Chains A and B, each alone.
Chain A
Amino acid sequence: DAMVIQNPRYQVTQFGKPVTLSCSQTLNHNVMYWYQQKSSQAPKLLFHYYDKDFNNEADTPDNFQSRRPNTSFCFLDIRSPGLGDAAMYLCATSRVPGQGPYNEQFFGPGTRLTVL
């Protein structure tokens, strides 16, 4: 089945220790997104890639970086995690809307990050 895969599902890191979360997709979608979601809140968009074009949200801290080496893979790097970065990180993909905004996002299962 075509899908969005995130690894690991659970990640524990120490304060200030860099961590990388990975996302892969078999859907061949042009657009990949990274969201941060804290408990009982809506997902907050960090950035997205449209093919190789990187689009950063204005309020995404510099501590968060991303790489997309090819269509299938996208990585989220947190350079110096703080306690406030503990959250669920969701990766999603989407086709380009084309003539209209008709295409839904497909989400991975998420990576729950704990910062000690």
Chain B
Amino acid sequence: AQKITQTQPGMFVQEKEAVTLDCTYDTSDPSYGLFWYKQPSSGEMIFLIYQGSYDQQNATEGRYSLNFQKARKSANLVISASQLGDSAMYFCAMREQDYGQNFVFGPGTRLSVLP
């Protein structure tokens, strides 16, 4: 079974609008971390935001926020006020306490910001 599911292969958003990228995960480990990465066409993976399974509040980093719904096992990324430079692939990833060093990545969502 897929540990990380990203159901939106591609998304379009108008510049300056907000967009939500979906991520659901599957784990029985009570301790885990959820990460979002951005990958522009140049190829580098850029860390955006982190949410821990025990964190009480949703994570925020500038224009990025994470809508964490633990019971539903979802960790959606919200980008506010989209910019043209936000056009990229976005990957959701998980690291489980019981699996130590391994990160599991979702299949990604390609976001295109329209002028």
- Chain B residues with CB under 8 Å of A55's CB are 101
The answer to whether the Cβ of B45 comes within 8 Å of any Cβ in the partner chain is yes
Other-chain residue from A40, A48, A90 in contact with B45 (beta carbon distance below 8 A): A90
A residues 41-75 near B (Cβ < 8 Å) are 41-43, 45, 48, 50, 55
Interface residues on A, range: 20 to 34
Is the CB–CB distance between B44 and A105 below 8 Å?
no
- Chain B residues with CB under 8 Å of A104's CB are 35, 47, 50
Is the CB–CB distance between A88 and B31 below 8 Å?
no
Is the CB–CB distance between A42 and B44 below 8 Å?
no
Is the CB–CB distance between A48 and B50 below 8 Å?
no
Closest chain A residue, CB of each to CB of B42: A109
B contacts, CB < 8 Å to A: 31-33, 35, 37, 42-47, 50, 52, 54, 89, 91, 93, 95-97, 100-103, 105-108, 110
Q: List 19 A-B contacts (CB under 8 A).
A: A31-B101, A40-B108, A40-B110, A45-B103, A50-B101, A90-B43, A92-B45, A97-B33, A97-B100, A101-B97, A102-B33, A102-B50, A104-B35, A104-B50, A105-B93, A107-B45, A108-B44, A109-B43, A110-B44
